[in-house]
Amino acid sequence: MITFTGIVHPPLFIPELCITPGHTAIIGPNGSGKTTLLRMLAGFITPIEGEITIRGISGPSDSVGWVDENPDRNILFSRVYDEISSSLRFSHLPSDEIEQKVSGICTTWSIDHLLNRRMEELSGGEKITVALAAATINTPEILILDEPDAHLDKTLWHTIINHIKKINPDYSIVATHQMEIASEADQLIYLEKGTIMHCGTPEKVFSQLKETCYYPLLWRMRNGSQY
């Protein structure tokens, strides 16, 4: 369990929040604090006030995979192989072990054909997939995806979710503006103006958003609710 207690860090104000293991989606208007929440969880920023605990231990996890919304912001190196292997190299792993792990993760993500390509030649979707491979090569405890769907169509997103399930991080947390994607999460969080307005199963959270454009279109078409 991940808990947030007494968090004050503008624009965020979170008296209490629990994130359960599994797949969590975070939704909310632009500027509501989704990215700040994710960055805090990743340990990139420390809350001005309050505490985050992971499995009862205070402070950020040292096993986090991060994928930024802007594919170019994930890139450190010019070649795909170097990008994917970077965290292993920084950890001074032996070369043969690095090669083995890179080969394994590329098979998982079906990107063996990209290994010798230059990052700048890749499409936005390919860059995100490479970033996912780099973020998951060490099987992180927490995998964080900040609006990856901006560059991914639904088919590719479902492929990615299936890969994430295979890698099976304890927590996968995604900020998204696609309500279809959000409706498939185990847990859904709705943020507005830095505050957690709703948290629970997608059914529970969306039932409280029926009067807004956040309610999934297909659900609205099926039950005829208006807003």
Partner 1 sequence: MVLSIEDALITRGSFSLHINGIFPSGIHLITGKTGSGKTTLAEALIGRIVPEIGTIKCTGISKKMLAMQAAERHVTTSTVTREIASFGADRDKVLFQAGLRGYENRQILSLSRGELKKLILMCILTSHFELIILDEPYAGLDCTAKKMISDTISTTIPDFRSDICIILTHDLSSLPPVDYLWEIINGKLIFLGQMPDALFHWNMDFKPLKYLLSEKITPANIDQKSLMEAACRIRESVPE
Instruction: Name the residue nearer to partner 1 (CB basis): 58 or 78.
Output: 78
- When asked if residue 163 is in the footprint of partner 1 (CB under 8 A), the reply is no
**Of 11-40, which residues contact partner 1 (CB under 8 A)?**
28-31
Angle (nearest 5°) at CA 37 between 31 and 40: 135
Site string for partner 1, 180-209 (x = CB under 8 A): x-----------------------------
Beta-carbon contacts of 66 under 8 Å, excluding residues fewer than 6 positions away, are 42, 44, 135, 144, 146
- When asked if residue 154 is in the footprint of partner 1 (CB under 8 A), the reply is yes
Instruction: Name the residue nearer to partner 1 (CB basis): 88 or 133.
Output: 133
Taken as a whole, the chain contains a residue count of 227
- When asked if residue 152 is in the footprint of partner 1 (CB under 8 A), the reply is yes
Backbone angles phi, psi at 170, to 5 degrees: -60, -40
Instruction: Name the residue nearer to partner 1 (CB basis): 62 or 120.
Output: 120
Could you check whether the bond before residue 29 is cis, i.e. omega within 30 degrees of 0? no
**Of 90-149, which residues contact partner 1 (CB under 8 A)?**
117, 121, 123-126, 147, 149
Angle (nearest 5°) at CA 78 between 73 and 81: 105
In whole angstroms, give the CA distance from residue 145 to residue 224: 32
Which residue ranges make up the site for partner 1 (CB under 8 A)?
A: 28-31, 69-70, 72, 117, 121, 123-126, 147, 149-156, 177-180, 212-214, 217-218, 220-222, 224, 226
